[in-house]
Amino acid sequence: EVQLVESGGGLVQPGRSLRLSCAASGFNFDDYDMHWVRQVPGRGLEWVSGISWNSDNMGYVDSVKGRFTISRDNTKNSLYLQMNSLRSEDTALYYCVKDGPVAGTGDYWGQGTLVTVSS
Amino acid sequence: ETVMTQSPATLSVSPGGRVTLSCRASQRVSNNLAWYQQKPGQAPRLLIYGASTRATGIPARFSGSGSGTDFTLTISSLQSEDFAVYYCQQYNHWLYTFGQGTKLEI
């Protein structure tokens, strides 16, 4: 059974940093691209960042470029998102998403970890 | 950035009915279009990819169509468990984008 378990969320002041982690199991982690997608409670979905299976390619939404860094450790079946210079508009539930049957789709999602940026 | 626009924002329908949701892309995305269903308190679930291919385990009452910039998701014979929010997503370009969602309510 595929499982994606996010951790690392919490309450943080503007300008501070946070590192999200996602522990993956139930599939060959190093065969798939992975993504972070966020959702403000009660609002829509926003793709934040993605990383290729071998870490050769990464992408970011414009609003986080230069502040967030995605990475992965295939030996630990883990995905990470380092978030620096956090802003109030980064407040959201962050989902870890496994690439689906076609690259760019998400067939398995974690339950999310909530990041709240507030003073 | 490819902007995805869904319509309508909310759709009121009756169980057993048929409904069509629309999604328009601001530029051509070929058939690189997916649909997701999200219920309250749950993560999204992949329904359709490649504009018209049902994901594993998705019932046949869900169907997708379209190519280029205009896409539709049709749900025939609505079941009570189908009332949820539906999102389209383009994955044609590395900056993936979602529509704002259509809420299906009874």
The tokens describing B29, both together, are: 């995305």
Q: Which of A105, A111, A113 to mutate to test the interface with B (most CBs of B within 10 A)?
A: A105
∠ CA B36-B103-A95, nearest 5°, is 40
Question: pLDDT tens digit string along A1-29?
Answer: 999 999 999 999 999 999 999 999 999 99
Q: Kindly list the residues from chain A whose CB atom is less than 8 angstroms away from the CB atom of residue B87.
A: 44-45
Q: Does A45 touch chain B (CB under 8 A)?
A: yes
Alpha helical stretches, state H, chain B = none
- Do the Cβ atoms of B38 and B29 come closer than 8 Å? no
A11 CB neighbour count, 10 Å cutoff: 12
Question: pLDDT tens digit string along A45-89?
Answer: 999 999 999 999 999 999 999 999 999 999 999 999 999 999 999
**Cβ distance of A106 and B32 shorter than 8 Å:** no
Amino acid at A31: D
Over range A104-112, report the average pLDDT: 93
- Give residue B6's pLDDT: 97
Task: Please check the confidence at residue B1 and state whether its pLDDT lies above 90.
Answer: no
Q: Does B43 touch chain A (CB under 8 A)?
A: yes
Nearest CA to A70 among A5, A21, A109, A26? Answer: A21
Over range B50-57, report the average pLDDT: 95
* CB neighbour list of residue B76: distance below 8 Å, 6 or more residues apart: B18, B61, B63
Nearest CA to B21 among B64, B63, B68, B72? Answer: B72
Task: Please check the confidence at residue B79 and state whether its pLDDT lies above 80.
Answer: yes
Q: Kindly list the residues from chain A whose CB atom is less than 8 angstroms away from the CB atom of residue B96.
A: 35, 47, 50, 104
- Do the Cβ atoms of B64 and B72 come closer than 8 Å? yes
Q: Does A50 touch chain B (CB under 8 A)?
A: yes
Over range B64-69, report the average pLDDT: 95
Distances in Å between the Cα of B85 and the Cα atoms of A33, A60, B38 are 26, 25, 5
Helix (H) or strand (E) holding A60: strand A58-60
- Give residue B92's pLDDT: 78
Amino acid at A6: E
